[in-house]
Structure 1
Amino acid sequence: MATRQRVRVHDEPAFVLHRHDWSESSLILELFTRHHGRVVLVGKGVKRPTSQFRAVLLPLVPLRVDWSGEAEVRTLKAAQYAGGHVMPAGDALLAGYYLNELMLRLMARDDPHPALFDPYAAAVQALARGADVAVTLRAFELLLLCQLGWLPHLAQEGLRLLPLAAAQSYRLLPEAGLQPSGPDDAGSLPGTHWQAVQAALDAPDPWSALWAQAPTLSTAAMRVGLAGLLHYHSGVRSFRTRELMRALRRIGPRPAPPLNDPSP
């Protein structure tokens, strides 16, 4: 009978996507790694006050990790902070959690996507330094869908495969790609805008090239178009982190009470 070979991985770049309790002292960790994709590790004893891993096993923090094992859930052996940036804060922190939710919903376990690791790291770093949240999220959504093979070609119509007309408006549909539309339709952008985004995706450094398209990426139309694809391929109607971000925006900052108001 064939047996699985025990594997030991050393010094692998990684980020924690999600963590939950396994016991009073241990955690189950969902990691996104450069060469192995999304993997699941058990961190035994990492919650103890004396554990050297306790302070570093946090989402959105660049890590170097070691693990071993032949089962679906491997065992964490070492973890250290890789440096580069601090955790995002405020709205940027919620946006980072949204990136992680996308990865958990859309990526299969043990399916390597090494070309996606640097864009993910760049997105987290951009959020940490206070870059435009909308542009950061749209750029990563585009690259994620492209790497997973779910983004239609953005320089041609989806059904007829005709080149886009510069002055014509198009909207992005999950099952049909780009389709002609009216300029006021939700998710509608001129053909030249879609073509520019496709050229950025085809560039040697697509992350930087997409940032050059920031005015287009920050539009509500781009958000609507990509949201349709993400919901369609993830199988969920809404992402929890996006709903939380919207709820916090609706609440808004609490106004300061008048100086003579005794209430807290």
Structure 2
Amino acid sequence: MTRIADEPAFVVHRYDWSESSLILELLTRHFGRVAVVAKGAKRPSSNFRPILLPLQLLHVAFGGDGEIRTLRAAEWMGGQVMPTGDALLSGYYLNELMLRLLARDDPHPALFDAYAATVSVLAGEDAAALQPALRAFELLLLREIGLLPTLDAQTATLAPLEPRARYGLRPEAGLVEAADDDRAALPGAQWQALQVALDAPASYTAVRAEAAKPSAADLKPQLRALLHYHCGVTTLRTRQLMIDLQGL
């Protein structure tokens, strides 16, 4: 690979490589998830040390033709503060999803833009915007990597949805008709509206608006089950951390 410069990126994970260096997993806009080594980043005098933070937009330069490239430069683009509290944990949750579900070197520019928009919401002070933003990102992530069925028809039969009937999103079956009292389900009209929002040019904003509706709270357990299934875990680490902190 030739040297890449001025590439928008977020740090989604970091771990020690030596006494002075780090391996970083970057989410980049044009190259997807990329692993780089930041040589000397742990030294007190390193220019990398105060910059390589999660949930902060960077512009980076890297190169190399191996599985792990070499980070050449990184510049913090500013513009937002680090999230705190529940928003910070939600940011780490996004990063865990990126690590578990995205293959390396598989670019998804639209997903990068949705991630950046979600991080901006996390850095804000509007607590009511947090859950709709997360649901919108989860839906767009699943669609981008080909794990979300179409939401305007029953998956097994391709039969159109009845607006007032309730349907549930199931890991192995897709969208199926559910009982009226099944809380892990939504009316057909809402699933159809979500599909329209996903197909919109500004899909992240449109899906957030749909996920902000009161009945959309029932979307959370369905997406959680689907994500856990495809991640191959019963509970994500960040989810377990949230549960443990709430129990203190």
TM-score normalised to structure 2 length: 0.95
Aligned partner letter, 1:228: A
Between the aligned partners of 2:32 and 2:71, the Cα distance in structure 1 is 16
Between the aligned partners of 1:136 and 1:78, the Cα distance in structure 2 is 31
Q: 2:7 aligns to what?
A: 12
Q: 2:132 aligns to what?
A: 135
Cα gap change, 1:79 to 1:104, in 2 (>3 Å): same
Identity, % of aligned positions: 58
Between the aligned partners of 2:167 and 2:107, the Cα distance in structure 1 is 33
* Structure 1 residue 114, shift from structure 2 partner: 1.3
Q: 1:153 aligns to what?
A: 150
CA RMSD of aligned residues (A): 1.3
Q: 1:262 aligns to what?
A: none
Q: 2:173 aligns to what?
A: 176
Between the aligned partners of 2:176 and 2:187, the Cα distance in structure 1 is 11
Aligned partner letter, 2:63: S
Tell me the matched-pair count: 246
Between Structure 1 and Structure 2, which shows a larger proportion of helix residues?
Answer: 2
Between the aligned partners of 1:68 and 1:214, the Cα distance in structure 2 is 40
Deviates more, 1:185-194 or 1:149-158: 185-194
Q: 2:185 aligns to what?
A: 188
* Structure 1 residue 170, shift from structure 2 partner: 0.6
> CA offsets per residue over residues 22-42 of structure 1, 9 Å max, x none?
111110000000000000000
Gaps of 5+ in 1: 1-5, 252-264
Q: 2:120 aligns to what?
A: 125
The secondary structure found in structure 2 opposite 1:212 is helix
Between the aligned partners of 1:44 and 1:163, the Cα distance in structure 2 is 55
* Structure 1 residue 177, shift from structure 2 partner: 1.3
The secondary structure found in structure 2 opposite 1:7 is coil
> CA offsets per residue over residues 198-242 of structure 1, 9 Å max, x none?
111011101111122133487442011111211121112110001
* Structure 1 residue 186, shift from structure 2 partner: 3.7
Between the aligned partners of 1:125 and 1:218, the Cα distance in structure 2 is 25
Q: Is the 8 A contact 2:186 2:215 kept in 1?
A: no
Q: Is the 8 A contact 2:38 2:71 kept in 1?
A: yes
Between the aligned partners of 1:249 and 1:183, the Cα distance in structure 2 is 31
Q: 2:18 aligns to what?
A: 23
Q: 1:3 aligns to what?
A: none
Gaps of 5+ in 2: none
The secondary structure found in structure 1 opposite 2:99 is helix
1:85-96 paired onto structure 2 within 5 Å? 85-96=80-91
1:104 aligns with 2:60: no
Between the aligned partners of 2:160 and 2:225, the Cα distance in structure 1 is 22
Deviates more, 1:31-40 or 1:129-138: 129-138
* Structure 1 residue 84, shift from structure 2 partner: 2.3
Cα gap change, 1:218 to 1:242, in 2 (>3 Å): farther
- Which has the larger Rg? 1
1:244 aligns with 2:241: yes
1:57 aligns with 2:41: no
